[in-house]
Amino acid sequence: MALPGLTNIIARLWTSLAARLRGRPPVPFSVLYKKFKGILERHNAILELIGDMGDKLGGDYIFDRQYILDSCERLGDQVFKLISDLNLLCQGKNVALFTAFERIQLRVREELAGRRVLSRTDHILPLSELTHDLADEGGNKMASLGDIKNILGFNTPDGFVITAGAYFETMTRAELRKPVAESIRALCVSEGEGLEEKSRALRQAVMDMPLPRELRQAIEHAAGQLSSGGPQLLAVRSSAWDEDSESSFAGMYETVLGVAPADILPAYRRVLASLFCEEALRYRLHHELCAEEPAMAVGVMPMVDALVSGGLYTYAPLQEQDQVMVVSAAWGLGKPIVDGTAETDTYLLRREPPHELLSADIADKTTRLVLAAGGGTRTESVPEAERAQPCLSAAQLTLLAKTAMTLEHFFKRPLDVEWAMTPQGELVVLQARPLSIRPRACAQTEDAAEAVKGVPMLISGRGVTAMGGVSSGPVHIMAEGEDLSAFPYGAILVARHSSPRFAKVMPKCRGIITDVGSATGHMATIARELRVPTLVQTGSATRTLREGQEITLDADHQVVYEGVVEALCRFELVREDVFEESWEYRTLKRVLKHISPLTLLDPKSDAFAPESCRTFHDIARYVHQRAVDKLTSLAETHQDIRERAPRRLVTRLPLGLTVIDVEGGLDAAAGEEPDERDIRCRPLKALMEGLNIAGMWETSPVAVDMGSFMSSVTRTFGAEAAHPSRMGRNLAVISREYLNLHLRLGYHFTVVDAFLGGSVNDNAIAFRFMGGVTDLTRRSRRATLVAAILERSDFLVEVKGDMVTGRIKKHPTRIMLDKMFILGCLIGYTRQLDAKLNSDAALNRHLDIFLQRITAVRETRE
């Protein structure tokens, strides 16, 4: 494989090869066409590999380190060859593309080698941008808080994080990274000899090191903004790598509360230095973390002015009662509660909704900590009348319980949640970390299997796991087009079709079961992001399950049990290892960041260039586009083409279609003006049948309102002006089995690439649909409609903005030809549709109409 530098040599070789080629007669068209087809095949293979890698995150597969290494190697190899193929086709060098490749390849390798590549180089990141995807930048604790705020949508304080990147830069400039690594290595080798001394020396070095000026200014500026220039005090919290994750380091690092904005820098230093405190170094030693470089991100948040504060364990570590959560609460700020110095109320609540209150132990609370008017905190006595009062109402307790259980379902761990109630009655989540105490009963692993013996199975062995996990709750059957805002908290969503719309209720729902859907679709991706156990493609869940019925979903085993199988849910919570936290899962997810996102979207924009390629997917997309462009221009200019010159196909519909027949795509006897009867290309023939079928070609005049009309005019003019030579020209490159079709109809741009009629394994259709008139909302409605139709026709669908990509492969030719027929219908039907898609209701109506028509058409055909 390409070593650094090798690509440059190859690029230079291309230059000389190209120079020699220029002096020669042109390469025969058939050779170039073969190369073109090779590019398409490789392009598909690459996308398939990327898709496979993404699938592995779904939870259905067991994969290991070797799989990740092999896949990255194979993918890198394929992408490299794809670029070389393009160079051959275009007979030119493309140094910029090789450079982009090398850049991405290097990032992937760094990730694999355990040197995390920070995707954001900022020193300061606002909490509002943090999620676990930025756990490397923000550290675990702050990333979790980011998930709570930004994914689950709960209240947290505002704030920012001083990133691990800032830590590295500071340590690098102070030349401390090497001494740190050496100290830790020495400690590991000597099994802790001189640990106290080394700890002291490292902490002192951190306290004494200079902070880079820009960093100091950035921190002070951000802290000033957070306190709005006032006396608002701040909480400065550790958020180290590995803290609160598999290895916990719980409570070892420093948190400084009640920091005045002017004192932010010393507090930051103190938290940094705690990275090397004795407990943490000892922990590192005993948990085989010697090879991992430590890093400390630091979170900064305003202190919440709390009327009531407290903690909550979602699983009470009690002997007698295994099924309860425990809440402790006191008046004022939370510090005395966390420190254990305050008298607190203790409430026990049932874990299951509606979270019945089992007991309330109300303490005599004589003092409380409050924010002082002029800044700082002070302890005051609680007014006599309030001392023996419970500090939480029933409604507040329910809210707390629901919030905590939603967090537990997301993090898949019993949790310790720190919270506060503001004087306005708002619940604020301050922190959530895994409970180190495991529920007692969980050691009995046989429980789970024993508990399900004899429990009726409502669904078994059907469906595909889109996200693993176990959960229980009442069924809510979602009707098509139902208002999502009324979705009941804690229910399991059961629907006919999967839909990315469900993202909205995912934080509230315990699980998702659909009759139809794909484990690689958009909804599945979101379900994984939100960790909602999801089973798709069960066939008949909406008919098997009843509204309101209590069930337990075990997505790992594709089983739905009747009733709540508590032991099974408990089993899930006490697994020693959460898959999502394993090295393999995290590493695959990290490398995929450099592989699968598609950021090059619009071929007409200036950014559509090798320099902008950020992922392997981008490179594949770029090469594909360049190859198609090249073939199109070759078809117009290549001297070989004369005998198979582009011919205008006479069609019943006004398609303006030019065909280039490479091999057997048209009847040999066809003349200069072939018509539809001359088509021998099987995929094109099937597509034309779909286009021509009665009732599918939408011809009714479309009332375009002024807004969408204007936007359509500007859009189309803009797009057409970029390619004046191709205006109005639709092109199909065909052979007997192959079709590559570029079709601009109305305002849509469709690309179909199909190879049908070889072996089943070679059969593949790729369909892309983009552009269009009207505003973005309507265009994205149209994209949703197209995606829904494609999904129902078994295509694997991806939607990016208003671009829809559908792929299907490896079905018998007969079935694939039927898919081409459906694509024909779809192109005809949606040709002018977006102007009509003025509401979500219209979207659903058109989906129904289309499906009805296609059913009718099929019945007639059969």
Partner 1 sequence: MTSDAIENPASIPAKAPGGETARRRTSILVLDDEPIVCKRLKPFFQKAGYEVEAFNQPLEALARIEAKRFDVVITDLKMEGLDGLSFLGKVKSLHPDTDVILITGFATMETARQSFRKGVFDCVAKPFKLAELLDGVRRIEKERGLAS
Pull the structure tokens for residue 232.
Answer: 């608002």
Binding map of partner 1 across residues 511-550, x = CB under 8 A, - = no contact: ----------------------------------------
Whose tokens are 């009714």? That residue is 700
State the helix-helix crossing angle for 213-226 and 264-273, rounded to 10 degrees. 110
Of 114 and 801, the one with the shorter C-beta distance to partner 1 is 114
Q: How far is the CB of 519 from partner 1 (least distance, A)?
A: 11
- Give the integer Cα–Cα distance in Å for 64 and 450: 30
How many Cβ atoms are within 10 Å of 355's Cβ, its own excluded?
A: 20
Contact window for partner 1 (CB under 8 A) among 279-287, 575-583, 659-667, 721-729: 575-583
Whose tokens are 């559509």? That residue is 608
Contact window for partner 1 (CB under 8 A) among 36-44, 55-63, 213-221, 755-763: 55-63
Of 374 and 454, the one with the shorter C-beta distance to partner 1 is 454
Report phi then psi at 249, rounded to 5.
Answer: 50, 25
DSSP state of 488: P
Could you say whether residue 859 binds partner 1 (CB under 8 A)?
no
Contact window for partner 1 (CB under 8 A) among 189-197, 442-450, 647-655, 848-856: 442-450
Secondary element (H or E) of residue 768:
strand 764-771
Classify residue 114 as exposed, middle or buried by CB count within 10 Å of its CB (0-12, 13-18, 19+): exposed
Of 53 and 823, the one with the shorter C-beta distance to partner 1 is 53
Pull the structure tokens for residue 786.
Answer: 């197209």
Could you say whether residue 221 binds partner 1 (CB under 8 A)?
no
Burial call 564-589: b when 16+ CB within 10 Å, e when fewer: bbbbbbbbbbbeeebebbeebbbbbb
Q: How far is the CB of 103 from partner 1 (least distance, A)?
A: 28
- Give the integer Cα–Cα distance in Å for 471 and 353: 13
Could you say whether residue 49 binds partner 1 (CB under 8 A)?
no
Pairing of strands 470-478, 492-497: parallel
Q: Report which residue type is found at 707.
A: G
Contact window for partner 1 (CB under 8 A) among 215-223, 329-337, 441-449, 721-729: 441-449
Binder among 9, 19, 31, 449 for partner 1 (CB under 8 A)? 449
Secondary element (H or E) of residue 675:
none
Q: How far is the CB of 586 from partner 1 (least distance, A)?
A: 11
Report phi then psi at 682, rounded to 5.
Answer: -65, -45
Q: Where are the alpha helices (DSSP H) in 361-504?
A: 384-387, 394-411, 446-452
- Give the integer Cα–Cα distance in Å for 760 and 792: 21
Contact window for partner 1 (CB under 8 A) among 59-67, 132-140, 165-173, 687-695: 59-67
Q: Measured at the alpha carbon of residue 747, what is the angle toward residues 742 and 751, in degrees to the nearest 5? A: 20
Could you say whether residue 483 binds partner 1 (CB under 8 A)?
no
Beta-ladder partners of 472: 552
Could you say whether residue 3 binds partner 1 (CB under 8 A)?
no
Contact window for partner 1 (CB under 8 A) among 58-66, 173-181, 617-625, 694-702: 58-66
Could you say whether residue 584 binds partner 1 (CB under 8 A)?
yes
Could you say whether residue 462 binds partner 1 (CB under 8 A)?
no
Binder among 518, 534, 542, 558 for partner 1 (CB under 8 A)? 558
Could you say whether residue 244 binds partner 1 (CB under 8 A)?
no
How many residues in the shown chain lie near partner 1 by CB under 8 A?
A: 31
Contact window for partner 1 (CB under 8 A) among 358-366, 410-418, 445-453, 618-626: 445-453
Could you say whether residue 402 binds partner 1 (CB under 8 A)?
no
What's the Rg (C-alpha) of the chain? 31
- Give the integer Cα–Cα distance in Å for 714 and 80: 38
Could you say whether residue 576 binds partner 1 (CB under 8 A)?
yes
Could you say whether residue 318 binds partner 1 (CB under 8 A)?
no
Contact window for partner 1 (CB under 8 A) among 260-268, 446-454, 660-668, 713-721: 446-454
Contact window for partner 1 (CB under 8 A) among 216-224, 388-396, 578-586, 800-808: 578-586
Of 581 and 640, the one with the shorter C-beta distance to partner 1 is 581
Binder among 283, 489, 579, 697 for partner 1 (CB under 8 A)? 579
Could you say whether residue 287 binds partner 1 (CB under 8 A)?
no
Q: Report which residue type is found at 28.
A: P
Q: How far is the CB of 581 from partner 1 (least distance, A)?
A: 11
Q: How far is the CB of 454 from partner 1 (least distance, A)?
A: 8
**3-class DSSP state for residue 251?**
coil
Q: How far is the CB of 573 from partner 1 (least distance, A)?
A: 11
Q: How far is CA 548 from CA 477, 491, 535, 551, 696, in A?
A: 8, 8, 18, 9, 40
Binder among 32, 104, 151, 452 for partner 1 (CB under 8 A)? 452
Contact 367, 379 (CB under 8 A): yes
Could you say whether residue 320 binds partner 1 (CB under 8 A)?
no
- Give the integer Cα–Cα distance in Å for 55 and 36: 29
Binder among 1, 3, 62, 669 for partner 1 (CB under 8 A)? 62
Pull the structure tokens for residue 176.
Answer: 């401390």
Contact window for partner 1 (CB under 8 A) among 20-28, 93-101, 324-332, 577-585: 577-585
Of 583 and 717, the one with the shorter C-beta distance to partner 1 is 583
Q: Report which residue type is found at 217.
A: Q
Contact window for partner 1 (CB under 8 A) among 485-493, 556-564, 639-647, 758-766: 556-564
Give the per-residue SS3 of 546-567.
CCCCEEEEECCCCEEEECCCHH
Contact window for partner 1 (CB under 8 A) among 208-216, 567-575, 622-630, 646-654: 567-575
Could you say whether residue 331 binds partner 1 (CB under 8 A)?
no
Could you say whether residue 448 binds partner 1 (CB under 8 A)?
yes
Whose tokens are 């958009």? That residue is 522
Pull the structure tokens for residue 138.
Answer: 């923000």
Could you say whether residue 339 binds partner 1 (CB under 8 A)?
no
Binder among 12, 61, 366, 378 for partner 1 (CB under 8 A)? 61
> 847: closest CA among 805, 778, 792, 768?
792
- Give the integer Cα–Cα distance in Å for 616 and 51: 12
Could you say whether residue 288 binds partner 1 (CB under 8 A)?
no
Could you say whether residue 717 binds partner 1 (CB under 8 A)?
no
**3-class DSSP state for residue 238?**
strand
Q: How far is the CB of 459 from partner 1 (least distance, A)?
A: 14
Could you say whether residue 56 binds partner 1 (CB under 8 A)?
yes
How many Cβ atoms are within 10 Å of 480's Cβ, its own excluded?
A: 11
Beta-ladder partners of 418: 311, 431
Binder among 440, 557, 726, 729 for partner 1 (CB under 8 A)? 557
Could you say whether residue 454 binds partner 1 (CB under 8 A)?
yes
Residues 6+ apart with CB under 8 A from 84: 10
Contact window for partner 1 (CB under 8 A) among 155-163, 452-460, 688-696, 766-774: 452-460
Secondary element (H or E) of residue 350:
strand 345-350
Cis before 26? omega within 30? no
Binder among 12, 22, 65, 185 for partner 1 (CB under 8 A)? 65
Binder among 102, 133, 515, 554 for partner 1 (CB under 8 A)? 554
Pull the structure tokens for residue 86.
Answer: 């393009």
Of 446 and 862, the one with the shorter C-beta distance to partner 1 is 446
Q: Report which residue type is found at 623.
A: V
Binding map of partner 1 across residues 6-45, x = CB under 8 A, - = no contact: ----------------------------------------
Residues 6+ apart with CB under 8 A from 859: none
Q: Which residues here bind partner 1, judged by CB under 8 A?
A: 56, 60-67, 445-446, 448-450, 452-454, 461, 554, 556-558, 568, 571, 575-577, 579, 582-584
